[in-house]
Structure 1
Amino acid sequence: MKKDERCLTNKYKKRFKKRYFIIPALCSGFLLGGEGASATEKPLVSVEKSDKVVTLQINESGDRYEIYQDGKLEYSGKSNKYQDNLNSDIQNYKVGVFKQNKLKKVSTVKVTNNKKSNMSMQKSLAKVSAAETNTSNKDKKAAIMEENINTANLEVVATNDSVTLNWDKIPDENGVYEIYKDDVQIGSTRGLEFTDKNVKPNSRYQYDIVATTQVSDEQKEKYLNLAKERKIKLTAKDKKELFSIEGHLSNIIDIPNIQESSLEKPQVFIKEEENNSASSKTSMKAAYMPKANAYSFLYMTFIPYFSLEDPVPLNGTYLKGDDRGFYPYSNRYRTKVDVSTGFKGPTYINPVIDIGTSHRCADAACKKVIETKTASKSGIKVYKDQVSTRKMVWRVKHDVGIPFGKGYPNINYYYEATLLSSPSFVVKGAHDKAPNHEFYLFAETSTKAFPIEKYKVNSTLDFMLLAPGTPQHFFNRSF
């Protein structure tokens, strides 16, 4: 489309009534609690979508408007409506409102384009058998949550003093969505829109829309019988965790300043380097630092405890853990999958897979080690779907067991990543609710880790959540 003044034709003035069409300004919400508020007034920019077109309507009067996409000026003129092709997984805009040749308002707009593709997330498990992925045991309600989270859209409109979120409907047990900012709940709503007015310019926040349902009564009975067999006493909290099916729809947003330089500046994964002069930490970071114009996606699973009782069989022995918290530079883990990507000279997707050594002990202090083994790497597959100078797409399937016999459970996860050179990414996936999972991005020449996903077990009982058929944690994160 031309970079000139653009007005909508009558063809696009109608309201599209399709699945992927969202009008944040017109969606109503009911606030149940928190520091934010459901939107009662129009955000600075409203987003309208069809399958092929996105329209930005600026709701603030001005003499002139400027619209940038990924740091490039796409429009400057008097029209408060801008139309663009909807042809990317995520499209990032900066909108400026000028009055008397002075910048008055700035908005960051994130438009996601999640939809069903020919390659569904089930196929993204890469043609593995039902036995490997436990699909034969998967609860129907979990499958519905998975599909909805993978195809849902979360739109974000941010100004220097507010963030408005708008999302597609996701199944929830009581119809109430929980809203989190940086892992802290800030509110809940029955609607599909939420506004947070507690933000600061030049800050970065991650917003999560969380929906929760429960497995069927039939599945609940299976889990209770399994606990009885293993002589595990479940509290009400344990049962809630065991029965819950949770989906996270997430977006990471930078809050703009009212400055022309803010309009022109494209987003970056790593905003600035951490000031840390410790040579030991610097050397550890350097070991993970990717090459220039490159990105690295690091996924690790680990047991946070020093040791835990054998989940199966219950014979009085113990498994040695990794004894650590979340730390992207650690060399202690159950499994590590590091996918490096490069957009220039030449383009590439290169995975590096490693498995930590497992120890089975006679005592909790692991002073007497009964056996030591390392699981096979064969249960980890990385599939490269697209490698180009503008877009990378790959999938990881992880199905690795504890290497002390068939009675031990496997750790399962998968994710599908789309990385754009703009830069932006969309990562969709699911993982077991044990052990701990951590997922980071390292960007270009930076040594600072960008967290994508962190999941923590609450107790050693949570390893029962590795039993076949127990619901996974579903996520869809965009930046």
Structure 2
Amino acid sequence: MFKKKTIGMIAGIGLIIGLNIPSSVKADENLKVKVQSTPSSITLDWNDLGVNYQLYDNNQKLWEGNDSEYIHTNLPDNDQHSYYLRAFNQDGDTVDELSIRTFTKKAKNTKVKTITSLPSDEEKLSNITVASSVNDQELTIEWDQNIPDDDGDIEIFKNGVNIGTTTKNTFIDKDIEQDTDYLYEFVGKKRISEEKIQDILNDYKKRNVTITPAEEDDLFYNTFNLTRNVSTKIEHPTIATAAVVTDFTLRYTTFIPMKYASNPWPLWPLIPYNGPTYFNGNDRGFDKNSTRFKTRMDVKISFPNNIGTASLTSTNKHVEKSILYDQNYKIISERNASSAGMNIRDVTSGTGKVSFNAYHDIGLPYFDSITPDITYAFNATIYPNGGYIITGSHDKAPSHEIYLTNNSNIIRVVHQREHVGFLYLAPPYPNYTINSSY
């Protein structure tokens, strides 16, 4: 907690000795806040920067006073709050302002099918609550529990670029521009069991393939991504804001980045060809609007009268054709897999939010019973201002991308993860686990 203010005493001394003290702090000091959430409350505790403060929540004035702490109580669980905090000096001038976004905690653990081999760690990641705060100098991201990791040294990525590591549950970035969106990833890794490692080694030996040191990081570790989307635009509650967007699409796409993908599963004598085979890839990188993909799920989300709804119809479930080639890239066969393995369940509509579980289990349309499927599962809560919490896990193959969109315009990049290898589609190979929010 920050030290509570003694501004009244300092200002009094200033008047006695005839000094003009515009505020109680150094010119280069900024508002800083600590955020603590429970299922029914949010505590904001900030440094002593002024003599008076105003606090807004979702564009409505919540409180005004001279304390440096506010406890917001009687809140629903799993609820999003966008605060605006302004500090004033004794002359009534603004000293600093801060935008804060956070959530109340979930009242109970999310119930969603897991594909990871470490469900307890997936549960830990899914129950981490994240807060972010922004002023014109810096942004701060803090999380209330440790990210699963063997040594506690968490990798940090900013817009996909590795910028270092941290052992703390707080990150401050001073290298920012105003009115800009940033995507931060905090990545922990935990080594899988020695039994599973031995199974992987045996599998590679059967395939007569040598594991390189660079591959061990993916092969022998489950990966845990805590992702936070942050906008440095400070929303001033006294300025008229645009109408709130209330219709969204949560788009989850899988794709194969290369043009041709080597088939690691022997299909002969199930097909009349005994040489190397390849599958068609999508020959692209991350792109929300690309028409080249393996599977795509578009969950439609709306908030009529501020009550959240979510739906996934057959017209919004897409599986593209799988083409099997011989070693000369001549077509052996073309088939389409069913989209029946894509669905959402447990839709919970509420005032100002909607939650649901999504599942994806789509097989290869060539002897599906003996080849692994592309699998993912996640829980999502979406809010009418474009905020979200998405937690779950997916295979390390192929490439995965998630976007929150409105009228085909991208609102937020939720998650992007590159393809590692097709062997990761099946146990004992490890997975990615995610907790992404805005």
Q: Under TM normalisation by the shorter chain, which class is it?
A: 0.7 to 0.9
- The CA deviation string for residues 268-326 of structure 1, in whole angstroms up to 9 with x for no partner, is 999xxxxxxxxxxxxxxxxxxxxx63000111111111112112117511111111221
Q: CA 1:303 to 1:423, structure 2 compared with 1: closer, same or farther past 3 Å?
A: closer
2:311 to 337, 345, 350: 350
**What letter corresponds to residue 336 of structure 1 in structure 2?**
R
**What letter corresponds to residue 104 of structure 1 in structure 2?**
V
Q: CA 1:236 to 1:118, structure 2 compared with 1: closer, same or farther past 3 Å?
A: closer
Q: Give the whole-Å Cα distance in 2 for the aligned partners of 1:382 and 1:171.
A: 27
Which structure 2 residues correspond to residues 295-444 of structure 1 after superposition, within 5 A? 295-313=248-266, 315-344=275-304, 348-351=309-312, 352-363=316-327, 366=329, 368-405=330-367, 406-443=369-406
Unaligned stretches of 5+ residues in structure 2: 4-28, 268-274
Does the aligned pair in 1 maintain the 2:2–2:47 contact within 8 Å? Answer: no
SS for the counterpart of 2:96 is: strand
The residue number in structure 2 matching 1:162 is 138
**What letter corresponds to residue 155 of structure 1 in structure 2?**
A
- The CA deviation string for residues 337-385 of structure 1, in whole angstroms up to 9 with x for no partner, is 0001111279642212111110111135x3x211111111222221142
The residue number in structure 1 matching 2:204 is 227
- The CA deviation string for residues 140-188 of structure 1, in whole angstroms up to 9 with x for no partner, is xx22321111111222232211222322112212221122222222232
Q: Give the whole-Å Cα distance in 2 for the aligned partners of 1:347 and 1:65.
A: 33
Q: CA 1:446 to 1:84, structure 2 compared with 1: closer, same or farther past 3 Å?
A: farther
Does the aligned pair in 2 maintain the 1:161–1:199 contact within 8 Å? Answer: yes
Q: CA 1:43 to 1:382, structure 2 compared with 1: closer, same or farther past 3 Å?
A: same
The residue number in structure 1 matching 2:51 is 63
Q: CA deviation at 1:388?
A: 4.0
Give the TM-score taking structure 1 as reference length.
Answer: 0.76
SS for the counterpart of 2:340 is: helix
Which structure 2 residues correspond to residues 158-237 of structure 1 after superposition, within 5 A? 158-167=134-143, 168-237=145-214
Does the aligned pair in 2 maintain the 1:24–1:193 contact within 8 Å? Answer: no
Q: Give the whole-Å Cα distance in 1 for the aligned partners of 2:200 and 2:243.
A: 41
Q: Give the whole-Å Cα distance in 2 for the aligned partners of 1:376 and 1:476.
A: 29
Q: Give the whole-Å Cα distance in 2 for the aligned partners of 1:52 and 1:350.
A: 28
Q: CA 1:293 to 1:151, structure 2 compared with 1: closer, same or farther past 3 Å?
A: closer
**Deviant stretches of 4+, over 6 Å:** 265-270
Does 1:111 find its partner at 2:102?
yes
Does 1:466 find its partner at 2:425?
yes
Higher helix share: 1
Q: Give the whole-Å Cα distance in 2 for the aligned partners of 1:80 and 1:408.
A: 59
Give the TM-score taking structure 2 as reference length.
Answer: 0.83
2:83 to 70, 86, 93: 93
Q: Give the whole-Å Cα distance in 1 for the aligned partners of 2:54 and 2:67.
A: 10
Q: CA 1:358 to 1:436, structure 2 compared with 1: closer, same or farther past 3 Å?
A: same
Q: CA 1:80 to 1:377, structure 2 compared with 1: closer, same or farther past 3 Å?
A: same
Does the aligned pair in 2 maintain the 1:344–1:389 contact within 8 Å? Answer: no
**What letter corresponds to residue 180 of structure 2 in structure 1?**
S
Unaligned stretches of 5+ residues in structure 1: 1-22, 26-40, 126-132, 271-291
Q: CA 1:205 to 1:268, structure 2 compared with 1: closer, same or farther past 3 Å?
A: farther
Please identify the structure whose Cα radius of gyration is greater.
2
Q: CA deviation at 1:57?
A: 2.2
Q: CA 1:267 to 1:454, structure 2 compared with 1: closer, same or farther past 3 Å?
A: farther
SS for the counterpart of 2:292 is: coil
Does the aligned pair in 2 maintain the 1:390–1:420 contact within 8 Å? Answer: yes
Does the aligned pair in 1 maintain the 2:32–2:47 contact within 8 Å? Answer: yes
Q: CA 1:114 to 1:208, structure 2 compared with 1: closer, same or farther past 3 Å?
A: farther
1:53 to 41, 45, 49: 41
- The CA deviation string for residues 175-214 of structure 1, in whole angstroms up to 9 with x for no partner, is 2112222222223222222322222232222222211111
Does the aligned pair in 1 maintain the 2:260–2:279 contact within 8 Å? Answer: yes
Q: CA deviation at 1:66?
A: 1.3
1:147 to 123, 127, 142: 123
- The CA deviation string for residues 115-149 of structure 1, in whole angstroms up to 9 with x for no partner, is 462552xxx23xxxxxxx7x6xx53xx22321111
Q: Give the whole-Å Cα distance in 1 for the aligned partners of 2:237 and 2:54.
A: 8
SS for the counterpart of 1:439 is: strand
Does the aligned pair in 2 maintain the 1:298–1:338 contact within 8 Å? Answer: yes
Q: CA 1:370 to 1:256, structure 2 compared with 1: closer, same or farther past 3 Å?
A: closer
Does the aligned pair in 1 maintain the 2:2–2:46 contact within 8 Å? Answer: no
Q: CA 1:387 to 1:412, structure 2 compared with 1: closer, same or farther past 3 Å?
A: same
Q: CA deviation at 1:465?
A: 1.3
Q: CA 1:154 to 1:265, structure 2 compared with 1: closer, same or farther past 3 Å?
A: farther
Q: Give the whole-Å Cα distance in 2 for the aligned partners of 1:24 and 1:301.
A: 45
**What letter corresponds to residue 92 of structure 1 in structure 2?**
S
Q: CA 1:268 to 1:239, structure 2 compared with 1: closer, same or farther past 3 Å?
A: farther
Q: Would you say how many aligned residue pairs link Structure 1 and Structure 2?
A: 398
Percent identity of the aligned residues? 26
Q: Give the whole-Å Cα distance in 1 for the aligned partners of 2:107 and 2:148.
A: 17
